[in-house]
Structure 1
Amino acid sequence: MKYVVSLLFLSLTAASPAVAAGPIKIVAAENFYGDVARQIGGDAVEVVSILNNPDQDPHLFEASPSVARAISDARIVIANGVDYDPWIGTLLSASPSSARKLIVVGDLAGKKTGDNPHLWYDPRNVLAMARQLSSVLAEEDAANISVYARRLADFEASLQPVSDRIAEVRGHYAGTPVAATEPVFGYMFDALGLEVKETSFQNSVMNDTEPSASDVAAFENDLKTHKIKLLVYNSQATDPAAERLKSLAEQAGIPVVGATETQPDGKSYQSWMMSGVAEVGKAFGMPTQ
Structure 2
Amino acid sequence: MHAKRAGIALLLSISLLGLFTACNSSSLAQSSGKMNVVAAENFYGDIAKQVGGEHVNVSSVLSDPNVDPHEYESSVENGKAVATAQLVIQNGGGYDEWMKKLLDASPNDNRSIVTAFDIAPQKLPDNEHVWYSPQNVKVIASSIATVLKKQDAAHAADYDANLKKFDDSLQALEQKISEIKSKYAGTPVGLTETIFLYQTGPMGLDVKTPGELQKAIAEGNDPPANTVAIANNQITHGEIKVLIYNEQTNTPITSKLQRDAQSKNIPIVPVTETMPQGKTYQSWQLDQMNSLEQVLKSSTSK
TM-score calculated relative to the size of structure 1? 0.89
| Equivalent position of 1:216 in the other structure | 228
Question: Which of 215, 218, 224 in structure 2 is aligned with 1:206?
Answer: 218
Runs ≥4 in structure 1, deviation > 6 angstroms? 111-114
- 189-198 or 241-250: bigger deviation: 189-198
Could you tell me how far apart the structure 2 residues matched to 1:192 and 1:113 are? 15
Q: How many residues align?
A: 267
| Equivalent position of 1:281 in the other structure | 293
Question: Which of 48, 66, 72 in structure 1 is aligned with 2:83?
Answer: 72
| Equivalent position of 1:180 in the other structure | 191
Residues 112, 226 of structure 1: CA spacing in aligned structure 2 closer, same or farther, 3 A cutoff? closer
* Match runs of 1:247-258 below 5 Å: 247-258=259-270
Question: Which of 107, 127, 131 in structure 2 is aligned with 1:120?
Answer: 131
Contact 1:52 1:263 in 2 (8 A): yes
Could you tell me how far apart the structure 1 residues matched to 2:174 and 2:159 are? 23
Question: Which of 103, 109, 115 in structure 2 is aligned with 1:98?
Answer: 109
Question: Which of 182, 199, 206 in structure 2 is aligned with 1:171?
Answer: 182
* Match runs of 1:20-31 below 5 Å: 21=30, 22-31=33-42
| Equivalent position of 2:53 in the other structure | 42
Contact 1:82 1:111 in 2 (8 A): no
Task: Check if 1:133 corresponds to 2:144.
Answer: yes
| Equivalent position of 1:234 in the other structure | 246
| Equivalent position of 1:262 in the other structure | 274
The share of aligned pairs that are identical, in percent, is 40
Q: CA RMSD in A?
A: 1.5
Residues 136, 184 of structure 1: CA spacing in aligned structure 2 closer, same or farther, 3 A cutoff? same
Contact 1:82 1:112 in 2 (8 A): no
Q: CA deviation at 1:126?
A: 1.4
Alignment partner of 1:284: what SS? Answer: helix
Could you tell me how far apart the structure 2 residues matched to 1:151 and 1:112 are? 26
Name the amino acid aligned to 1:63. Answer: S
Question: Which of 143, 147, 155 in structure 2 is aligned with 1:144?
Answer: 155
Q: CA deviation at 1:161?
A: 1.1
Q: Tell me the alpha carbon deviations over residues 206-236 of structure 1, each in whole angstroms, 9 at most, x when there is no partner.
A: 2333112211111111011111111111111
Q: CA deviation at 1:51?
A: 0.2
Residues 43, 98 of structure 1: CA spacing in aligned structure 2 closer, same or farther, 3 A cutoff? same
Alignment partner of 2:92: what SS? Answer: coil
